[in-house]
Homo-oligomer: A and B are copies of this chain.
Amino acid sequence: MMELTRKGEYAIRGIVYLAGQPTDCICLLNDIATAVDVPATFLAKIFQQFSKIGLVKSFRGTGGGFVLARSPDKITLLEVVEAVEGRIVPNRCVAGRDECERSVTCHIHPVWQRVQNQVRDVLSAVTLKDLVSE
């Protein structure tokens, strides 16, 4: 339970590396993958997700690659994680539409909401800038 997947770990490493590059540098996926030691094909999927939700900008064709869409201090760790893992949900019943008919009277339900809020708060308090500054 509660464990970040490889995908999430890779996602963070990849985008943190990108955040650490000079602003005008258009990075190649393969270079990023090599630098952060992640299978390039897997990282490709991750960056596609980033691109779709607008965390990074991508350029195709010759001279293409990736750059951050916003400055590092405007991107939180929460956004990065939820981009690839989906919304952080400590229990099904805390997700949008409940499947659990007990949720109305359940005393545990609010505990999971508390957990969710705490975790999201911690992660949203950290930006990519915090993670690259040595």
Contacts and interface: CB of A to CB of B under 8 A. Distances in A.
A90 B4 contact: yes
A3 B92 contact: yes
Interface in A101-134: 107-108, 111-112, 114-115, 118-119, 122-123, 126, 130-133
Main secondary structure of the interface of A (DSSP, over half): helix
A88 B12 CA distance: 20
Nearest to A112: B4
B108 A115 contact: no
A75 interface: no
A107 B131 contact: yes
In the complex, the 4 A-B pairs of residues with the closest C-beta atoms, listed nearest first: A1-B85, A118-B118, A4-B91, A107-B131
